[in-house]
Structure 1
Amino acid sequence: MNTQVVVTADGSHSVYNAEVGHHYHSVYGAVQESQRVYIELGLQHAFDTIEGAVRVFEMGFGTGLNALMTLREAIRYNRPVEYVAVEPYPLPSDDARQLNYDDLLHTFWLGDVHDAPWDVPTAVTPYMMLTKYQTPLEYLPTIGPFDVVYYDAFPPEGQPELWTQEIFEKVASMMRPGGFLTTYCSKTYVQHNLRAAGFTVEKHSGPARKREVIRAVLK
């Protein structure tokens, strides 16, 4: 896999995937984007509305940033999280070792989430049970139900097959009624496909250089 670690505008790293032609995170701030889209609109909203442990599914484990930030919040809120992620093309270990997220976030677990074995539930800490599946989402058996979905696939220009009504219907089948999906992509046809798959689409203000992002609630 042809990848390169890059520095984004907030000082945090992202990775450029030359085969897809896109970055794993916003070049205007990787941590800032994850904080707004997945932590504030996703995880923290779940903590506010759901009692007990929260079940999170991530489409696109990638750099491990979303998992790391979720673990940090789980500890901060004293709320256990069951975290399941799919990633058909894991980041090369040399790239993963370069990422500066632990330094920026004052955490200690980035290596642990990357080193967790595939297809096996692993207790990263008492606050996170992590299971990573190395398979395309299309071939993932139906699992769940999940409270929150972080939809962090490459953009439609790079992977159009991951933004269809059919793929969102598969994701919906893995969620509880009233669960919600958050994503950085607010393209009109993506909103249409989410609605067609049974979601109510909410538009929210985005991070830097992003006017709006989406939280979609399953009916």
Structure 2
Amino acid sequence: MKREIRITSDGSTTIHLPDWNENYHSKHGAIQEAYHVFIKSGLDKILETISLKSESTLTHISILEIGFGTGLNAFITFLEGIKHDIKIEYVGVEAYPVIANEVQKLNYVSELKAPAHQAIFDKMHAVTWAEKHLVSTDFKLTKRKQFFSEIEDENTFNLIYFDAFGAEHQPELWTEAIFLKMFNALKSEGVLVTYCAKGSVRRAMQAVGFTVERLAGPPGKREMLRATKTVNIG
């Protein structure tokens, strides 16, 4: 499938798929979308919730990303880890990895004004698949080349970034079967966030046990969803 590098409204890049008229990140701003959906509505929520329920501050968090793609979400999470002084164990699942030539055209490091961490972004894409790598002292990354239907983790993650392509193109990724796998993969009180706000997606999440909230969406979208695992199953 043909892929093109395009500039989004906030100046950051995305990969565009002309055949689907689909983007890896929002055309209204790739970085803005990533921060709004995955950091503000996901990571910050987890840090706040755990801190309120614990006498000590959170020092470690585990994250599963559904759709590793360009590495943008992983990179901004790395930067947030430095800011909050937390250790992060990050697993990115991707069936069709971005190629090296595309990575070189992505401008996230410069747009995020993080030139000191260019080597980290490069390393995220360069490390081998299916192995855990120490990308930095406090950031461990495992990239898994697999289909989302093959995920079998249980009670492992605090947070899931669900960043799959839209349901209009890949409806099989937004089903009860997939969200049951996400529910099982999360620890109790774990959170899943996604840019999607379709009613069918919300109902699929609720059907497998999630408590689902509609939240204000990023630029260009009215709403997004956040789902919380309030109980363990089994």
Partner residue of 1:146? 157
> What amino acid sits opposite 1:36 in the alignment?
H
Distance of 1:75 and 1:165 partners within structure 2:
35
- Structure 1: state its 5+ residue gaps: none
Structure 1 position 83, deviation (Å): 0.3
Partner residue of 1:174? 185
Structure 1 position 140, deviation (Å): 2.8
Partner residue of 1:204? 215
Distance of 1:61 and 1:17 partners within structure 2:
16
Partner residue of 1:56? 63
Partner residue of 2:227? 216
Please give the TM-score of this superposition, normalised by the length of structure 1. 0.96
Structure 1 position 93, deviation (Å): 1.0
Distance of 1:141 and 1:17 partners within structure 2:
29
* 2:202 counterpart of 1:191: yes
**4+ residue segments displaced more than 4 Å:** none
Partner residue of 1:7? 7
Distance of 1:145 and 1:134 partners within structure 2:
18
RMSD over aligned Cα atoms: 1.2
* 2:22 counterpart of 1:40: no
Distance of 2:195 and 2:93 partners within structure 1:
18
> What amino acid sits opposite 1:34 in the alignment?
A
Distance of 1:163 and 1:122 partners within structure 2:
29
| Contact persistence 2:155–2:188 (CA under 8 A) | no
Q: Which has the larger radius of gyration?
A: 2
Question: SS at the partner of 1:98?
Answer: coil
* 2:96 counterpart of 1:89: yes
Distance of 2:2 and 2:184 partners within structure 1:
33
Structure 1 position 217, deviation (Å): 0.6
> What amino acid sits opposite 1:187 in the alignment?
K
| Contact persistence 2:151–2:181 (CA under 8 A) | no
- Report 1:107-186 matches (<5 A): 107=114, 108=117, 109-186=120-197
Aligned residues, how many? 219
C-alpha spacing 1:128/1:114, structure 2 compared with 1 (3 Å): same
> What amino acid sits opposite 1:128 in the alignment?
F
Structure 1 position 20, deviation (Å): 4.5
Distance of 1:142 and 1:47 partners within structure 2:
22
- Structure 2: state its 5+ residue gaps: 51-57
